[in-house]
Chain A
Amino acid sequence: MSAREPLLKVDGLTVEFATLRHRLKVLEDVSLTVHPGEIVGLVGESGSGKSVTAMSVMGLLPDIARVAGGSIGFDGAELTGLSRKAMREMRGRDMAMIFQEPMTSLNPVHTVSFQIGEVLVEHFGATPAQAHAKAVELMAAVGIPDAARRALDYPHQLSGGMRQRVMIAMAVACQPKLLLADEPTTALDVTIQAQILDLMRSLRDQFNMAILMITHDLGVIAQMAERVVVMYAGQVVEEGTAAQIFDQPAHPYTRLLIRSIPSARHKSARLDAIPGSTPSAHAFPQGCRFHPRCPEAVDRCRTETQALHALPEGRSSRCWRSLEALQDAVAAS
């Protein structure tokens, strides 16, 4: 990896949710970096903490949440402890987010041009006419045909794919340095998915915008990401380049995740699912948090809390046996 300064550097982030009776550590010691112009995939099952990580970066944690430790560095500034106003000014201008549900992410009573232009009015004080002109330009850039006409449409007049394009146009309007995409293609059908992913990649190239791609879809990650961060039960369990993760997964959880992708080549009668379910933040297991579902678990896993171990070639894993496993894999190949 080059010695460039990372654009986003989350370091040892711990986030607590305070409920009436409990204090739940939903994120514990989460570290990840995103370099300028890089596409990083953040993978994990529901409840693994990927969205909370994104929300922490955006400063959009719910009121009951509290950053209990760690730091979030963005473009040379520290985001934890930043004032609400400073955080708000940064959102949309320097970092933008697109959401899973393009159907409901647009306001039904405004034209799409108004909604795309609003970001420019808010952050750059554009006049309505300038904002509209720029909105049409952006809509053309995200591949909406006949943009000048469609700009005056209301959201319900557009298809799901078109709406997601509008959301992306909104997100890139201010040319942010970082785009957080939270399951951007989950609600779309497969052909549209591919188009949207292509679009995001080409916008990345055009604007040199880094993308943190949050998804549980490993297929999307394989297509898009250069580096992958795997999360499980509020922790990062493995980090590496896409090639490393897919070819030689170091953590047993990652291995099982990859095996659970249905494949046309390896026919098996049943889908390889990971047994059990993600533990809730009320009851994270002692020791390694994955041990109850891990086929390779031994006594040490049940008792010893695992730290993120650095492995060769800049990767890391939260399994004490990873180094061993990697060497075995290398020896076997």
Chain B
Amino acid sequence: MRQVPVIGPIRRGLQSDFALRFRRSRNAMIGSVLVSIVLVVAIFAPWLAPYDYEQINMLAIWRPPGGEHLLGTDALGRDVFSRILIGARVSLTVAGSVLAITLTIGVTLGMIAGYFGGWAETIIMRTVDIIFAFPELILAILVAAVLGTGTTTVIIALSLVWWPGIARLTRSLVLSLREEMFVDAAIASGTRSWRILLRHLLPNIASPIIVRASVGVGFIIMAEATLSFLGIGVQEPTPTWGGMIRDGLAALRTDPHLALFTSLALAITIIGFNLLGDGLRDLLDPKVRDR
């Protein structure tokens, strides 16, 4: 006797299909696996690290990879593997905070400028232009120099140079959407402005902004590295990937493992976020959902 298959209620909402489509998208899957690994490492770094990241051992400097130290040691005999794990925390904290701040500020101001126009747009976009007029890093360095060193300073400095890009992107997306009939239709049915912004415009501009943000993670980690490289970012002995690459570069010819492995960790993170962002962009477009 064959069992008659029970056909459940047909659900075709965004939520139910999302998991299925997600699993089918190779980019999104690989990206999310890489990002998850990096996040898990960052969160559990103190427990995963085989050595104390601050522990100096002058008898074991520049040990090559293998043996007692999996990825070797640095100029002060500190375990590179442990420092990369702890460094993931700092780098991701900076990247995550900068993204959260710049997305909130940039998207909000960009939407206001694009949707309402008028004096609000003038003030917002001229501010954006002023910040754009400075070379990004120079401005970040200036801010860091004024505020003093430390993780918070890096976050503030990078946020300050990053939000204008997001605001400008958001504004241009909103400007073109503003001309769409469905926005007029929503206005004509008496929908409140904030509801039009949140319910009608935001979902439509989400994918390009998510992509921009995921690509931005790489740039932010690099920028943080640059600030640390210049000695105005996060201070020793706290390890950051940027700082470690800087130290590694000095000894590249004799002991390449420090720069190499840290760069590898950075590359994996950036690739992970980029793939995830790419995948999300495809998944969030309703027109390619049925494939």
Residues of A with Cβ closer than 8 Å to B? 58, 60, 88-93, 96-97, 99, 101, 104-111, 118-119, 122-123, 149, 152-154, 156-157, 167, 170-171
Contact = CB atoms under 8 A, between A and B. Distances in A.
B185 A105 contact: yes
Contacts of A107: 182, 186, 200, 203-204
B13 interface: yes
B177 to A, nearest CB: 10
A60 B195 contact: no
B203 A99 contact: no
A101 B203 CA distance: 21
Question: Which A-B residue pairs are the 3 nearest by beta carbons?
Answer: A92-B190, A92-B189, A91-B190
Interface in B154-188: 180-182, 184-188
Given A92-B188, A122-B190, A152-B11, 18 more contacts: A88-B190, A90-B190, A91-B188, A99-B184, A99-B185, A99-B188, A104-B180, A105-B184, A107-B186, A108-B182, A109-B204, A110-B203, A118-B191, A122-B189, A122-B191, A154-B286, A154-B289, A170-B189
B199 interface: yes
Given A92-B189, A97-B188, A106 B182 contact: yes
Nearest to B206: A109
Contact of A156 (B11, B200, B287): B287
Nearest to B189: A92
Contacts of B204: 107-109
A88 B196 CA distance: 13
29 contacts: A60-B184, A88-B190, A91-B188, A91-B189, A91-B190, A92-B188, A92-B189, A93-B190, A96-B189, A97-B185, A104-B182, A105-B181, A105-B182, A105-B185, A106-B182, A106-B185, A107-B203, A108-B286, A109-B286, A110-B203, A118-B195, A119-B190, A119-B191, A122-B191, A122-B192, A154-B289, A156-B286, A170-B189, A171-B189
Nearest to A171: B189
Contacts of A154: 286, 289
A286 B9 CA distance: 68
B185 A123 contact: no
Contact of A122 (B10, B181, B182, B195): B195
A329 B235 CA distance: 97
Contact of B12 (A91, A104, A152): A152
B185 A108 contact: no
Contact of B199 (A118, A149, A171): A118
Interface residues of B, number: 25
A90 B191 CA distance: 10
Contact of A104 (B181, B190, B191): B181
Interface string B201-236: 001100000000000000000000000000000000
A99 B13 CA distance: 27
A153 B181 CA distance: 19
Contacts of A167: 185
A276 to B, nearest CB: 31
B126 to A, nearest CB: 20
Contacts of B287: 108, 156
A118 B199 CA distance: 10
A107 B189 CA distance: 13
A118 B198 CA distance: 13
B124 to A, nearest CB: 18
Nearest to A121: B195
Contacts of A170: 185, 189
A91 B185 CA distance: 11
B10 to A, nearest CB: 7
Contacts of B203: 107, 109-110
Contacts of A101: 181
Most buried by A among B10, B189, B195, B203: B189
A257 B72 CA distance: 89
A165 B23 CA distance: 35
A99 to B, nearest CB: 6
A58 B286 contact: no
Contacts of B13: 111, 152
A104 to B, nearest CB: 4
Nearest to A123: B190
A96 B188 CA distance: 7
A58 B187 CA distance: 10
A92 B191 contact: yes
Contacts of B10: 149
Contacts of B191: 92, 118-119, 122
A98 to B, nearest CB: 8
B190 A99 contact: no
Interface in B49-99: none
Contacts of A99: 181, 184-185, 188
Interface string B1-34: 0000000001111000000000000000000000
Interface string B267-291: 0000000000000000000110110
Nearest to A87: B190
Nearest to A88: B190
Contacts of B192: 88, 122
